[in-house]
Amino acid sequence: MDQDSIKRLYDQSYARTYNDKFLTSYLTTADAVFEVQLLGNLLTPGARWLDLACGTGHFLSHFPDYERAGLDLSPAMLEEARQANPGTPFHEGSYLTERSEWHDHWDLVSCMWYAYGLVDSVRELETLVGNMARWTSPRGSCFVPLSDPTLITGHNIPFHQPGCPFPGEVTITGIIWSYSEDHGSKVHAHQIAPNVEFMESLFLRHFANVRLVSYPPSPPNFTVARRALIASQKRPTSALA
């Protein structure tokens, strides 16, 4: 993961406008409200919640009565998060870094929007999912809105590709895509969007129950509804090695 590039992308000016662009605009408000509802359903009494790539802390700010923490690479985003969540601990760093003090600690571990796509490889994605599982308590859950290649491309991209002329099986793990803003001055470059079935398989390594939740109908220009992944019933620690 190119941490310096991510920090430059999510600078102070970007952090100040992030919510208006991606969480409270006419295109995104309904999705964000639905995500708040889903998060509220996962927060049982006394739950502890860790939000990875927490950004401005928008989602954390809706649940001030819970023990919460956030992790993000961007100092500018963390500044916004601290203002929105007084007294909540926020940590500057990467979600790929092992933190033994968080093992089995959090009853909800989330990674919102498509922040997991900022990794440089599928191997790094596997590391992230492994960390999320390790940091989740035995009774806890993981929540991840999914970056669906079908939604991004407008085409159904199957995980298992039939018709391979050679012995064996072809699977399409995902796609690489970039998102450019402000005439190219801001570029989310070469993000990973794993196939939804592949994401399910990653979490099934660590959780016995993995389910998908579909969002309410999307804007007319979207051909596929967004989905989120919820993982629970964590497998024994030995399975997380």
**pLDDT 10s digits, 65-123:** 999 999 999 999 999 999 999 999 999 999 999 999 999 999 999 999 999 999 999 99
* Pick from 120-124, 157-161, 204-208: least confident: 157-161
Please write the tens of the pLDDT for every residue from 40-79.
Answer: 999 999 999 999 999 999 999 999 999 999 999 999 999 9
What mean pLDDT is predicted for residues 154-169? 82
What is the residue range of 84's domain?
3-147+195-240
pLDDT tens per residue, range 164-181: 777 788 889 999 999 998
**176 domain-assigned:** no
CA atoms within 13 A on the CB side of 44: 8
Q: Is residue 164 part of a domain?
A: no
Give domain status of residue 29, yes or no.
yes
How many Cβ atoms sit within 10 Å of the Cβ of residue 44?
12
Judge whether residue 221 has pLDDT over 70: no
CATH number at residue 204: 3.40.50.150
Q: Is residue 16 included in any domain, yes or no?
A: yes
- For residue 227, pLDDT over 90 is answered with yes
- Does a structural domain hold residue 48? yes
Q: Taking each helix axis as running N to C, give the angle between helix 75-84 and helix 12-22, from 0 to 180 degrees, rounded to the nearest 10.
A: 60
- The total domain count for the chain is 1
Residue 113 domain flag: yes
C-alpha 113: how far from chain center: 5
Rounded to whole angstroms, the Cα distance separating 240 from 222 reads 37
Query: How far is the CA of 72 from the CAs of 10, 35, 64, 219, in angstroms?
Result: 10, 19, 19, 29
Whether residue 143 is contained in a domain is answered as yes
| 23-42 confidence digits (pLDDT tens) | 999 888 999 999 999 999 99
For residue 170, tell me if it sits in a domain: no
* Buried b / exposed e along 47-58 (16+ C-beta atoms within 10 A): bbbbbbbbbbbb
3-state DSSP assignment of residue 83: helix
